[in-house]
Structure formats: C-alpha cells, structure tokens
Amino acid sequence: MKRWAWLLAVLVLISFAGAQVSSSLNSQGSSSQTSSSQGSWHETESGDRMFFPHDMFWGWAQFDLAPPHNEIDPNLCAGNAGQYGGVNAPCSLFARYMLSGILEVRPFGRGPLRRFMVYGAPTFLFGKTIPKTLYTWSPDAIGIEHSWGVGIYLNKGFEFRVTQHFLFDRLGARDTNLGVADLGNNGPWGRFMTVGVRKTFGTRRW
C-alpha cells in the first residue's frame, strides 16, 4: 500500500512539474538549445543553482478510457477466463481505465552532473471486465506496472539510460490467486533490466 501511495504521489507531482517546466522553457526562449528527451536542452545559465535548480522536473501524466470490447489486457488473466465462472469468474483483471505517466528529475544545476537524471514511469490499471462475458464501468483497482532508472545526456539528442522494470503489483483484494485463469504477476513485460541509448530529434510545437 505504501508503494501504491508513493507512485500516485509521483503522478500528482508530474502535473505540477509540467506547469513549472513549461513556464521555465518559455522564459528561456533566447538560450542555446538542442534536442533532448525534455523537448529541448539549454546550456548552463549563471543563475542556475547547483542543487535542485528551477527546471529540475520534467514529465507527463495521462488518463485513458478503454471502451467496451477494447479493454486493456495486462496479461494477468487468460482470455477465456469467463469459462471458469461466467460473470462471476474471479479472474476479471481486464482494465477499463489507465493512469500513466513519467517523471524525470535532474537534481544538479551546474557542472558535469547537470546531465544526470533519475526517472520513474508508473502505470495504474482499474476495472472489472471479462472478455465476451462481463463488461462493467467499475473503477476497482487492479494494480501497478512500474519501472525506474537513471540516465545521462550525452550530446546531440543522445542519452545513455539504465532501466529496471518490475513485476506487476496487484492492489487490494485482488492481490491473491484468482483461480484457474490466473496467469500470475509477470504482466505484459515481466521483470527485466536494460542498458540502452535513446536518441531524440525534432522540435515540439508546444
């Protein structure tokens, strides 16, 4: 429960950070810029603080609604779950609603460490649906898929990133085995760790 509350707080923080970054970028329109994951990269300014600079946050938050017969499948229940109890089948972990986002934090304002950042990317799923058997608008919590990592901006839109992705975490009463159709908590991606390079390009219109 503590992890769920922390991740939800991250998404709320994303909303406030987005407004802050937007204002920051508008006020720095005359600075030198190149492409990066936050839309643009500007060189160090003399007014930047060493720790916790004014533009340390970047991110986004998104809410999605899946209409009936198009539910989000986190691969926790078998597609034929309805065969094991009909509308009362216990394995109904197909989502109607999804709340997702990403938050990147760059805590240093000067020096080489200014290119360093940490990030988190949680996805919350809600709903109670069984394909071809039960379609509801229930907001019952299903669980969280999440990952976090660190990155270093290199140059010309290139970033070096290390990402740790975790197993799906179920919430509440659904954090238990739900019968024959239950596929476990591997979710769509399972648990993994990657080392990679990201290349961003182009200029956003906003």
Three-state helix/strand/coil letters over 118-139: EEEEEEEEECCEECCCECCCCC
Residue 176: is its pLDDT beyond 50? yes
Give a yes or no: residue 179 inside a domain: yes
* Domain encompassing residue 176: 2-199
* pTM of the predicted model over 0.85: no
* Averaged pLDDT for residues 73-84: 96
pLDDT digit string, tens, across residues 33-75: 433 444 455 555 556 788 889 889 999 999 999 999 999 999 9
Q: Measured between alpha carbons, how far is 42 from 106 in angstroms, rounded to an integer?
A: 13
Asked if residue 206 belongs to a domain, the reply is no
Residue 126 confidence (pLDDT): 98
Question: Phi, psi (5° rounding) for residue 141?
Answer: -70, 135
31: pLDDT strictly greater than 50: no
Dihedral of the alpha carbons of 206, 51, 2, 129, in degrees to the nearest 10: 10
Cα 141 to Cα 118: distance, rounded to the nearest angstrom:
27
Percent of the chain past pLDDT 90, that is, above it, reads: 65
Model confidence pLDDT, tens digit, residues 105-150: 999 998 889 999 999 999 999 999 999 999 999 999 999 999 999 9
Q: Please report whether residue 205 resides in a domain.
A: no
The pLDDT of residue 42:
59
> Is residue 183 included in any domain, yes or no?
yes
**What amino acid is encoded at 127 in this protein?**
G
Least confident interval from 13-17, 69-73, 133-137, 155-159: 13-17
Task: Determine, yes or no, domain membership for 19.
Answer: yes
The dihedral of CA 173, 178, 181, 183: what is its sign? positive
* SS3 state of residue 82: helix
pLDDT of residue 33: 40
Residue 112, helix vs strand vs coil: helix
Residue 111 lies in a domain: yes
**Amino acid occupying residue 33:** Q
Domain count, the chain: 1
